[in-house]
Structure formats: structure tokens, C-alpha cells
Structure 1
Amino acid sequence: MKIAVVSRSEKHLLEIARLLRERSPGDEVNLVSGSLERFSSSAGTAMPDLLLLDQPQGSELSRLEGLGAAHPRMTTMVLSTLHTVEFMVDAMRAGVREVLPAPVGPDTLYPAVVRVREKLSAHEHANGKVLAFVSCKGGSGATFLATNIAYALATECGQRVALIDLNLQFGDASLFLADQKPLATLSDVALQMHRMDASLLASSMMPVTATFSVLAAPDDPVHAVDVKPDHIDTLLNLARRHYDFVVLDVGRSLDPVGVRALDLADTIYPVLQTTLPYVRDGKRLLEVFRSLGYPPAKVQVIVNRHEKKAQIKLEDLEKACATPVWRQVPNHYEAAAASVNQGIPVLKLSPKSPIAKSLMALARGIAGDAAPAPAGWLARLLKKPAKEAPPAAAQPVAQPALQAVPAIKQPAFEEKQAWMQKS
């Protein structure tokens, strides 16, 4: 937990720091000698989980109210010798969680810090899900599925979605979604991990829609070394708290960064095709997952470019890999190739194609109860098309825009009308 202590008294500052570090040496404790204004100017956007303000003076309670409104996740406590009803009411209005006696001792400080920790833990457990897509062999289509399923979760299921490209050396997930260069990449974020918060994460991502953004892989393979396994812990814990789904394109190399991401994922989706090289590499990868101790329910196999008349049947693949196939995505090369070449999600470019319908159903299966029920054809007809989010600036993470379901085009309506007349 990140804790900041603000006090005009050097003696109080050092004593509070000693108590906090004795309670939990792993907590990050920052000391600010002086006023709350000095803390505000030095902290910037990297706010702590807990702010301890010793003996507030003047308008500092009013300033606390502004800080709390700008950073709702931060908990504020005040240490004071004053405990009048008027002061307590002012502190409550300022958003102060607790007022502790000053000078504070371990008997009152420790339980208060524990209560904050429990509050943070409860908030963290109400997290979004992390979905990791892994290629069993190069060219399996894991990036295509990851990007398009993430897009479907956002646009069709009404979820807040972040896609993080963890293919550190040759990742190109952003090109599958938009024809623009990301302003920042994962390596840029890694260098700023010490000040990472929701605002910095949002500003580093490339917006695709109002509720879907992408954190691109490093644009230079040399910068892949900037990303460490510990960075993945911080990044995913933060993203979980602000998105309903965090989709990872892990790539194929099982390096320490990739394995850490797979460890933290709720579900892993190995992607393969029904040809012998893919089946062989898929079997090897699944054996690695078993050796890492992943439970069978965590690993859900997806067969991409599935052909019903393929020489290797799904039953053969399941027997060879000793695992069931969770879903299969049909082969429709024309729609997939056009989507990749134009940098437009297939659900937007060719919504009636078999592959788009399959991905839409797959996304709804992932979202489960969170996905809204599909609207009837008349309801969709009467709705206006949703406006795309402007690509120029990142959208606020905590305020997703509600998107209307796109209206049915005229040919689809004519087909429906003809069917009704025949009936």
C-alpha cells in the first residue's frame, strides 16, 4: 500500500513513519514536511492509497475535499488534538474517513490502517477479468481473435475493455484496430511505473471506441527489455480496477513477462488450427500449462479457421491434446484479410460474415450475465447508429459512454419484410 504522511512537525513525521514501517515493511511510505499544498504540488497525479494529514490548519480541510473529489480512490485520515463537534463535521464534509488523536500511537494507528487495507482489498476483489490469448504456433490468428473479441466485448456487450499487447518484440495488435500510430507504448509505461495511476494509464492508451482502448507493444524490439515481470503485476492490478475486461495478446514466447501475465490471467485461450503442425505445438503448449499448475478450467482452447471437412477432426484434436475444444471460429479468409489489411475490426467491416457472427457469439459467451440481451430486429431498426469516439484523445476510463446498437441497413429490412409477407 502507498501511504503519504504530511506534517509540519519533523518529530511527528518521523514517529509516524517509524510506526508505519514497523507495522508493514512492504508498504511504500512517503514523507512530506510542510503543508498540504506542498504535498499537492509534489504528488502530481501519483496519489497514494492513504493520506495521513497531521494537524490541519487554515483551509486545508477544504483543500482535502478537492483532492478527494479528484482522486476518489485515495483514503484520507486526519491526526488532530481537536475533536469538537464542529471540527468533526467539517472533517466529514471534507471526505475524511477517520480523525485520530495526535500524537498518534500504534493502538489507534494500526487498526485504522488495517481498515483501509481491507477496504482496498474488497475493492480489488470486485475486479474485471483478465483474458490471455496465446498462439500455439505462429500465424494461428491469436492477435486477430484478441483484438476482435475485445472490440465485440466493448461494442456488443457494453463492457469497458482494455487490450494490452504483450508480444514485446513484434506486437502489432493496434494495427488490427486503427490506422494510427499510438502516442505511447508498453515500454514507455514501464519507465513510468513508479507513478502509474488510472489517469496515466488512460493517457498512454490508444482509444478505439469510447469504452475500448489499446496499450501497444514497444515499437522497437530493443525496448522489450524495459518491461519487467513486476511491471505486469502493477499494470494488471490497476487495469482490473478500472475495466470490466483486460485482454492480453501474449504472443508465443513464454518469457518471464509472458508467464507472469498468464499466472495473473483468469482465463487463458490457446489458439490453434486443425493442421498437424498446430496440433503438435498445441499439445506441447498445453503440457507446459499443466506443468505450471494451471487448472483445466483456466485453459479454454479455441480452434481458429475451422473447416467442417478438414482432414483432422475436432475429436482427433481433443484426443491428441487431451483437452476439450471450447469454441471454434469458422474460416472466412476474405473477411478476415480485408479486416487486417484495412485496420478495421471485422465486426465493423463485415458484420454479416460468418466469422463476425461467431466472434460476436463468443464475446457474449465470455461476458455471460454482463452482456445485454440482443435487441429484436424492430428495436435495432428504430435505434440511431452510435457515434464513434474521436481518436484524438484518450477517453476517461471511469465514465464509459453508452453506445446505441447500430441500425439495420435497408437490405436486411427488405428481407425481413418479404419473409413476413410470405408467412
Structure 2
Amino acid sequence: MRIDEITGAVVSSNPESRRSLSNQLTSTGAVRILADCDYCLSQNDVALRRLVEAGPKIVLVDMEDAKKAIASLKTIQHALPAAWLLVVSESMEPQSIIEAMRAGAREFLPAPIASKNLSEALRRYVDHSLRSSETSLKGKIFSVISAKGGSGTTSVAVNLSAALTSCPDSTVALVDLNSPIGDVAAYLNLRAQYSLSDVLEAGNRLDSVLLGSYMSQASGIAVLPGPREPNAAQKLDWQALPHVLELLTHSYNYAILDLPSGMDPEQLDSISHFSSAVIVVLTPELPALWRTDRLLRFLEKAHSNEKVRLVVNRTAKSDEITVKEIENALKYPVFSQFPNNYKASIQAINSGIPFVCVNHSSLAHSYAVLVERLTGHAIPRRRRSVFGLFR
């Protein structure tokens, strides 16, 4: 990045201060102002939405009203985690500086801003950006799909996502691509403000910062729910999906996609090429076996068969079709299997908390095994307390 490629925004309650600070940034010849707005006191503020849509690389916040400025820093830092936040203040009291830094500020500039101080702050931002780009993230996408509805793909996607958060220094995203309406939000008891519709509608404006602002948090996972209305999926611009998938790999260590059983072949072909693994879920029953065979044949034609990870869900000793028979019929090895535990599963759905977060069962442990096989990271098995033995 060159120092003349910086985009910026100014936040202040005083219109005159916004103009003055914007002029100072512009006069350096290094910054192009994309937006100026009032303080952003909540995630629902119109001012914050303007900032997010503009996507500036740096944001200069006026500390004229210290309380509102601190609140704005926290709000902006959450919505624009990649933005470099600068603060300008007439007060240089240590406590004010500490509060601003804790709220997300990277630079604290005394007012009025000296040209030298501003240039040095911009240079530090450029140096930081160059170092970050040298170690840019390239995450993995794990797609979860079944050939037959009711096989438990959403449960697998949700609990796999939760289990992946236990990997060292991991960031995990869960994207609901089920249509017409997905169940990820319901499984996590999540009332999200934004959905997949908003992301796809963003088009060319979408970058990692804007994508992050559309995500909701649940159980340590960044969640992007599916469309809210049944007819919304028909109106989505699915051609924008590859761009979204690319951004996911640069924004998160792991991204889990919950796919519908009847997904459009072209979309599935595109998604499988972005995926590090395609987790095909089936239950030990004949209709699921027949449909899974057809899905596997399609993935072979799409040259994605080497990415297939076959997972058998809800297994039991009394199953008439064994795992070995499934392998023989499909001519694919079973990568992992999950024992049937209806009680743990339904409790997790009703509570909105993935069972891998709270449960000590063999079902929960099987997800730790799956994570280790997918990533190479071992997750310690949860142990019951001595009191848990009597429950």
C-alpha cells in the first residue's frame, strides 16, 4: 500500500469540526475522505451504517464530547474491526488516553493537529497494513450437505462450527445457504439484524469489513443467517456468491456452509471448488443411501470427489445397515460417524446452545474427533466433574 491510497472518514457532533478535520486529512495528499458523520452510539445508528457502507481504512474521531466519543469508538471498532481508529483531543489527561485506547483507538493526537504528527500517524498505519498483508489469512471452507432432507446437516454444521472455535487462535464463520428458509438462526436462538440477502445485495461494495458488520455472534461463531422470507431466496443474486466465499477465506480461519439437499447443480459446483472439504451427511437408511450415491456421482463429475468427507449421522448398534455396508455400497470410506443421541440434540436445539459446548456425551466427543481429522488440531475431551457422575 502506498501512502496516497488511504481512504478515511471523520466522526464529530460538530459540523464545523468535521469540515476542518476532513480538510486536514485531505491536505496531506494521502487521504481521500469517503464519509463524515455524527457520533455512532449504537449498532443501529444511521451514522454507523454510513460508515460501514463507505468502508474507510482510517476513521478520525473528535473527542470534543469524551463520553460520546468513547461510545462511538467501541461501536465503530465492533462494526469495522479492520479500520485504524485515530482520536483528536484537546485534553491530554492520561485517563482519557487510556479510555480511548481501550475503546479501540490506535493513535491519540493532540488538538490542534500538527501536520508532522498527522503524517507520522498515517505512516504508522501504512507500515502496519504492509506487515498485515504479508501474513494475510487464507482460511478453509467446509461445506456441509446431504442428499436427503432431515439427515441433520444443520445440526452438523452448527456443532462443527462450535467445535472449531476450540482450535488455537481460530475465527469461525457459519453461513446458512439453505433455501427457501434456513434453520441456523433457530438452532442458535439468534435474532439477527442482517442475513444472506443483505450480503448478496451489497454487490461490489462488499469487502471484509462490510461482511463482518453483517455477521451476528453466537457461541463464539460469526453467523450469517439465511433469508428471512420464503420468496427472498428466489430474488437473490447468486452470482455474487463466489465473491462472498473468497472474502470468507480472507476473514476467518474456518467458514462452515450449511447447504440445502436440493441445491442447484451450478451453485454446488462453484461452492465445491472453493471448499477444502465437502462433508456429505447421511443416515443409515436405504433412501438416504440411494440419494447419496447420486450426489457422490455428481461431485465426481465436478472433480470434487477428493474433497468428499462422508459422515454417517445418528448411528446405533441396532442399525440394519452398518457403516461397513454403507462403505461397500457407496465405494467411499466413512470419514466420521455420530452416534444417535436424541435427548442431547433436542435439548441443544431448544436451548439455542450447541451440545458440543455443554455436553460430555460420546456424540459431543465425536465432533472433537471430526475437527482433529479435518484440521489436525486436537481438542481435549470434556470431563465430567465428580458430581456429574450422579446426574
Shared fold, TM over 0.5: yes
Q: 1:94 aligns with which of 122, 131, 137?
A: 122
1:333 alignment counterpart: 342
Compute the displacement of 1:265 (Å). Answer: 0.9
Take 2:135 and 2:180, find their aligned partners in 1: how far apart are those partners? 34
What are the within-5 Å matches in structure 2 for residues 39-54 of structure 1?
39=34, 41=36, 44-45=51-52
SS of the residue corresponding to residue 192 of structure 1 reads: helix
Compute the displacement of 1:304 (Å). Answer: 0.4
Indicate conservation of the 8 Å contact 1:187/1:217, yes or no.
Answer: yes
Take 1:259 and 1:225, find their aligned partners in 2: how far apart are those partners? 19
Deviations along 1:209-244, one digit per CA (max 9) or x if unpaired, are: 3x4121000011211134333322221221212211
User: Does residue 282 of the first structure (1) align with residue 267 of the second (2)?
Assistant: no
User: Does residue 145 of the first structure (1) align with residue 173 of the second (2)?
Assistant: no
Give 1:71's aligned amino acid.
Answer: A
Relative distance call for 1:206 and 1:50 in structure 2 (3 A) is closer
Deviations along 1:281-321, one digit per CA (max 9) or x if unpaired, are: 0100000000111142x111000011233221222211211
1:169 alignment counterpart: 180
Deviations along 1:25-74, one digit per CA (max 9) or x if unpaired, are: xxxxxxx9x974544549944578999xxxxxxxxxxxxxxxxx9636xx
Relative distance call for 1:267 and 1:231 in structure 2 (3 A) is same
1:196 alignment counterpart: 206
2:303 alignment counterpart: 293
Give 1:94's aligned amino acid.
Answer: L
Relative distance call for 1:313 and 1:197 in structure 2 (3 A) is same
Relative distance call for 1:47 and 1:374 in structure 2 (3 A) is same
Deviations along 1:157-204, one digit per CA (max 9) or x if unpaired, are: 6521100001131211121122x3211110022112332233322222
1:109 alignment counterpart: none
Give 2:278's aligned amino acid.
Answer: I
Indicate conservation of the 8 Å contact 1:46/1:197, yes or no.
Answer: no
Deviates more, 1:159-168 or 1:251-260: 251-260
Take 2:5 and 2:223, find their aligned partners in 1: how far apart are those partners? 35
Take 1:38 and 1:324, find their aligned partners in 2: how far apart are those partners? 56
1:271 alignment counterpart: 281
SS of the residue corresponding to residue 123 of structure 2 reads: coil
1:365 alignment counterpart: 373
Deviates more, 1:262-271 or 1:314-323: 314-323
Compute the displacement of 1:92 (Å). Answer: 7.0
User: Does residue 347 of the first structure (1) align with residue 347 of the second (2)?
Assistant: no
1:249 alignment counterpart: 258
Q: CA RMSD in A?
A: 4.0
Q: 1:356 aligns with which of 336, 339, 364?
A: 364
Take 1:363 and 1:173, find their aligned partners in 2: how far apart are those partners? 20
Indicate conservation of the 8 Å contact 2:269/2:302, yes or no.
Answer: no
Take 1:277 and 1:266, find their aligned partners in 2: how far apart are those partners? 27
Q: Which runs of 5+ in 2 are unaligned?
A: 7-25, 38-49, 59-80, 85-114
Compute the displacement of 1:356 (Å). Answer: 1.3
1:154 alignment counterpart: 165
2:106 alignment counterpart: none
What are the within-5 Å matches in structure 2 for residues 12-411 of structure 1?
36=31, 38-39=33-34, 41=36, 44-45=51-52, 71=83, 94-95=122-123, 126-155=137-166, 159-178=170-189, 180-209=190-219, 211-255=220-264, 256-296=266-306, 298-349=307-358, 351-369=359-377, 371=378, 374=380, 409-411=385-387
Indicate conservation of the 8 Å contact 1:166/1:258, yes or no.
Answer: no
Q: Which runs of 5+ in 1 are unaligned?
A: 7-31, 52-68, 73-86, 99-115, 378-407, 416-423
SS of the residue corresponding to residue 168 of structure 1 reads: coil
Compute the displacement of 1:410 (Å). Answer: 4.5
Indicate conservation of the 8 Å contact 2:197/2:226, yes or no.
Answer: yes
Deviations along 1:366-391, one digit per CA (max 9) or x if unpaired, are: 2314x5x62896xxxxxxxxxxxxxx
Take 1:333 and 1:157, find their aligned partners in 2: how far apart are those partners? 30
Q: Normalized against structure 1, the TM-score is what?
A: 0.62
Give 2:318's aligned amino acid.
Answer: K
Deviations along 1:223-276, one digit per CA (max 9) or x if unpaired, are: 113433332222122121221100000111221434322221110000001111
Indicate conservation of the 8 Å contact 2:163/2:357, yes or no.
Answer: no
Take 2:177 and 2:302, find their aligned partners in 1: how far apart are those partners? 19
Give 1:302's aligned amino acid.
Answer: V
Q: Normalized against structure 2, the TM-score is what?
A: 0.67
Take 2:389 and 2:340, find their aligned partners in 1: how far apart are those partners? 27
Indicate conservation of the 8 Å contact 1:149/1:363, yes or no.
Answer: yes
Take 2:138 and 2:245, find their aligned partners in 1: how far apart are those partners? 10
Take 2:382 and 2:344, find their aligned partners in 1: how far apart are those partners? 25
Indicate conservation of the 8 Å contact 1:283/1:321, yes or no.
Answer: yes
Deviations along 1:392-412, one digit per CA (max 9) or x if unpaired, are: xxxxxxxxxxxxxxxx54514
Take 1:310 and 1:215, find their aligned partners in 2: how far apart are those partners? 36
Take 1:249 and 1:89, find their aligned partners in 2: how far apart are those partners? 49
Deviations along 1:302-361, one digit per CA (max 9) or x if unpaired, are: 000112332212222112111111111111112112222332211234x12221121232
Relative distance call for 1:155 and 1:70 in structure 2 (3 A) is closer
1:385 alignment counterpart: none
Indicate conservation of the 8 Å contact 1:191/1:226, yes or no.
Answer: no
SS of the residue corresponding to residue 144 of structure 1 reads: helix
